[in-house]
Structure 1
Amino acid sequence: MSAAEFSPPYLSPNAIDTALRERGVGLLSGEDTAAWIGVPLAELRALEPHWDRLVADGYLKDGGRYRQRRHSCFVVDGGRVQPVPHRAHWQPVEYNALHGGMQRWFEPMEPAMVAAPAWTRLLQRLAASADALRGAQPWYVEAHPFRIDTTDGIGRPTPEGAHRDGVDLVAVFLVGRHAIKGGESRVFEANGPSGQRFTLRDPWSLLLIDDPRVIHESTPIQPEDPEGHGWRDTLVVTLRAGGFQGG
């Protein structure tokens, strides 16, 4: 860890719902994420090979080649997880000034990942946290496995800059890092001066965000070795009440 790098202020699993309600942000270590979801950490880590088979993002307006991803949607209601027919990812310009207003059709998540019991439990637990925050109701869930790499010399986890997603709850899992520097997470009050910065390194550590209250971003990554190649793998899951963005 460099002198300028800040450690995440991890919480205990039983404190996360209170932190979300009171401050709009909560963080868990990888071990505690697994305990919070109710699966062994090894079952979450068994999902990691799916990140080696992501597909290049052809919609980057900055012309970059540094992002690979997939995208699938679900409805979670009272513990029942229902995949929905494959659909485009759409955000309004007010939430994503760079890529908003576009119908972005990404390849779906691999069926084996969607079928994994750990995946079902992960979605159920996130929906339970959204229930605690907003009240029990159906949740419209979008899941985005990402790999940001250093193919272009620099990779941008959030090319749109500091933003909100236009949903109720955002979950950012740090799946893994390889031979990179940078990738600092930054979260700020949407309507105030307070903020935090920290670098997630622990596999399957989790940042949970009450989206209407908090703006977030991640700083660019570079390879540790100027001649080398590195990447940062994340899983972003958003939960929204009332329906998917874009209808």
Structure 2
Amino acid sequence: MVNAEQSTELPERARRALASSAVCLLTAAEVSAYVGTDAAGWADFARHWEELAPDPYAAERGTRRARRYGRFRLADGTGDLTPLPHRPFAQPQASNPLYVTVDRHFAPLTGAFAVDPVLRGLLRLLGGAAAGLADTGAWEAQVHPFRVLAEAGGGGEPTPEGLHHDGVTLVSALLVDRHNATGGRTCVVGTDGEPLLETTLSEPGTLLLGDDRRTVHGVSPVRPLDEGAPAWRDVLVATLIPAGRD
């Protein structure tokens, strides 16, 4: 369990980093302490990625990807979570250029995923980090577990659209697992073109946060270390927008 000091110190530090530089990288140790888990807990959480469904929209563009999608109402201040009805995912205008006109139908989160304490702890952390970004009584948290698969011939494109916005207030990426994978380097750039951060998320539990209104981001291709075996990169992308915004 997170203690009272942890429940305020880490979100506050993330808020300060987002305010000053629009990006924040939290270590696996920090995130693990906040959500109250360890290496075994991350391994348990990673098992949800074995139940993802194929992404037919990515497949049309040559990328092998599996995912699900869910939404929650996240109360600002208390961190209380309420599941929201499932619906197609619509990319906001002036964001991802590949899908801005497409309503994409993804499988919902499994029941076990939606109530996993690690997920809920992470969303509370995001709510605390985002508290300084907008004056809102509640957030809508959009949850996207991804698995990007790669083979020797290619296919491992986490962001085939290149550098982009997600059209949200806060965007985050949590590394859950890497298997036989090289690449997958994340680049965050300010809207003025200034490079802000480059990092390869390599340890499960490492969390990257960004103010999506002030940054664009992209991830380099994933390729297998052993070309005779499959490779994958498992990430949880969670975004926040003010509740009630369509």
TM-score by length of 2: 0.88
Equivalent position SS for 2:58: coil
**Are 2:63 and 2:155, in contact at CA under 8 Å, matched by a contact in 1?**
no
In the alignment, is residue 38 of structure 1 matched against residue 39 of structure 2? no
Q: In the alignment, is residue 215 of structure 1 matched against residue 216 of structure 2? A: yes
* Gap change, CA 1:93 and 1:17, over 3 Å in 2: closer
Which residue in the other structure is 2:68 paired with? 70
CA distance in 2, matches of 1:64, 1:93: 24
What is the CA-CA distance between 1:171 and the residue it aligns to? Answer: 1.1
| CA deviation after TM superposition for structure 1 residue 228, in Å | 1.8
Distance 1:65 1:131 in 2: 35
Q: How far, CA to CA, are the matches of 2:182 and 2:117 in structure 1?
A: 33
CA distance in 2, matches of 1:210, 1:204: 20
Partner of 1:5: none
Displacement of 1:226: 2.0
* Residues 105-130 of structure 1: CA deviation (Å, up to 9, x unaligned): 10011101111222222212211211
What is the SS of the residue equivalent to 1:161?
A: coil
Q: CA deviation at 1:219?
A: 0.4
Structure 1 residue 45 displacement after superposition: 3.6
CA distance in 2, matches of 1:55, 1:156: 17
Given that residues 49 and 145 in structure 2 are in contact (C-alpha distance below 8 angstroms), is that contact kept between their aligned partners in structure 1? yes
Greater mean deviation of Cα atoms: 95-104 or 55-64:
55-64
Change beyond 3 A, Cα 1:34–1:135: farther
Seq. identity, %: 36
- Aligned counterpart in structure 1 of residue 48 of structure 2, from 50, 68, 79: 50
After superposition, residues 66-215 of structure 1 pair within 5 angstroms as 66-77=64-75, 78-151=78-151, 153-215=154-216
CA displacement at 1:94 relative to structure 2: 2.2
Q: Is the CA contact 2:42–2:176 (under 8 Å) kept in the aligned structure 1?
A: no
Partner of 1:234: 235
User: Shift of residue 65 of structure 1?
Assistant: 4.6
Counterpart amino acid of residue 235 in structure 1: L
Amino acid at match of 1:141: A
CA offsets 1:205-236 (integer angstroms, 9 cap, x no match): 00000110111010011111222210000000
Secondary structure class of the residue paired with 2:133: helix
- d(CA) in 2 for partners of 1:101 and 1:213? 23
Matched-pair contact (CA < 8 Å) for 1:176–1:234: yes
- Find the aligned partners of 2:196 and 2:213 in 1 and give their Cα distance: 15
User: May I ask how many residue pairs the two structures share in their alignment?
Assistant: 233
The offset of 1:186, in angstroms, is 0.3
Q: How large is the Cα RMSD of the aligned pairs?
A: 1.8
Given residue 57 of structure 2, which amino acid in structure 1 is its aligned partner? Y
Q: For 1:163, what is the secondary structure of its paired residue?
A: coil
Contact in 2 for aligned 1:61/1:99 (Cα 8 Å):
no
Aligned residue in 2 for 1:27? 25
Q: Do the aligned partners of 2:74 and 2:127 also contact (CA within 8 Å) in 1?
A: yes
String of CA shifts for 1:61-106, please: whole Å, max 9, x gaps.
7532510000001111132201011111101352111111111110
Aligned match of 1:6: none
AA of the residue aligned to 1:146: F
Q: Indicate if the aligned counterparts of 1:170 and 1:209 stay in contact, CA closer than 8 A.
A: yes
Secondary structure of residue in 2 paired with 1:235:
strand
d(CA) in 2 for partners of 1:142 and 1:170? 10
TM-score (norm 1): 0.88
- Which residue type is aligned with residue 213 of structure 1? R
